[in-house]
Amino acid sequence: MAYLGIPKNTIEVLQKYNFNFQKRFGQNFLIDTHVLEKIIREAHITKDDVVLEIGPGIGTMTQYLCESASKVFAVEIDNTLIPILNDTLSEYDNVTIINEDILKVNINKLVEEECGNRPIKVVANLPYYITTPIIMSLFENDVNIDNITVMIQKEVAERIVSKPGTKDYGALTLAVNFYSTPEIVANVPPNCFMPRPNVSSAVIRMTKDVEPKVKVADKELLFKLIKASFLQRRKTLVNGIGNFKELNITKDRVAEALKEMGLDENIRGERLSLSEFGELSDLLSEK
């Protein structure tokens, strides 16, 4: 078996197929066996698991996934990679390659058909240009997931795990934390990829919460409040929400709710924790 985590083997495959990297698909292939082993370990994959891999590339991580999981679904948008994947993964009978845009795949249907009620694990070295839409669509579509362990831009990973009151804290932090408990499990420098990306990367594991950390009466309202609060982060919450067209909430109502929560009426959204946003949402939905 020619493992593609070894740079020499990756180069051989790329040359054999005369492969041209497509920047528009965010193609940076992993060429570091230690990083690959670390991702598999941190995703807590066992022989019972069904894994969804987003963007297998030439199959570098897929080889590891096939060896550690029971079944692997690998969704790749670039059709020029499909014959390569059929070649590099030919020794495995537990992988299904799907040539599709991940944002167009009905993952719920796939999970239902293949796993019954068992949750899947999602593993990927994500294309960085669509990191947020991919993560959010998995959560928002309520896919039955155990955890999502993905390589993303380091800066985005830091935003996801940031704390209230810091410059990185924002709508993405709150959205991911609403559904899961995130943890950065590895930092990965550009030289672990071919070609080298211009940014540093990190592996983040988002373990889906079985019981939501925050329960709200109106989830849509909560997410609109979060959006309104971070559109212009230097604004106070009262102004941010009061001026937000998608909501019909007066500044007075926001000020009153903040007072009820014992918070300063000049407070900015970046100071509020997820549970405080939840409390604010419930107070405003009652009124």
Q: Which of 13, 19, 28, 192 binds ligand SAM (CB under 6 A)?
A: 28
Binding to ligand SAM by residue 102, rule CB under 6 A? yes
Pick the stretch among 101-109, 163-171, 198-206, 263-271 that binds ligand SAM (CB under 6 A).
101-109
Q: Which is nearer to ligand SAM, 26 or 119 (CB)?
A: 26
Q: Which is nearer to ligand SAM, 85 or 280 (CB)?
A: 85
Least separation, in Å, of the C-beta of 36 and ligand SAM? 8
Q: Which is nearer to ligand SAM, 30 or 272 (CB)?
A: 30
Binding to ligand SAM by residue 61, rule CB under 6 A? yes
Binding to ligand SAM by residue 60, rule CB under 6 A? yes
Pick the stretch among 56-64, 198-206, 226-234, 270-278 that binds ligand SAM (CB under 6 A).
56-64
Q: Which is nearer to ligand SAM, 61 or 225 (CB)?
A: 61
Binding to ligand SAM by residue 125, rule CB under 6 A? yes
Binding to ligand SAM by residue 127, rule CB under 6 A? yes
Binding to ligand SAM by residue 103, rule CB under 6 A? yes
Binding to ligand SAM by residue 76, rule CB under 6 A? yes
Least separation, in Å, of the C-beta of 149 and ligand SAM? 13
Binding to ligand SAM by residue 175, rule CB under 6 A? no
* 188 to 130, 164, 181, 184, 244: CA distances (angstroms): 19, 26, 21, 11, 39
Pick the stretch among 53-61, 170-178, 213-221, 248-256 that binds ligand SAM (CB under 6 A).
53-61
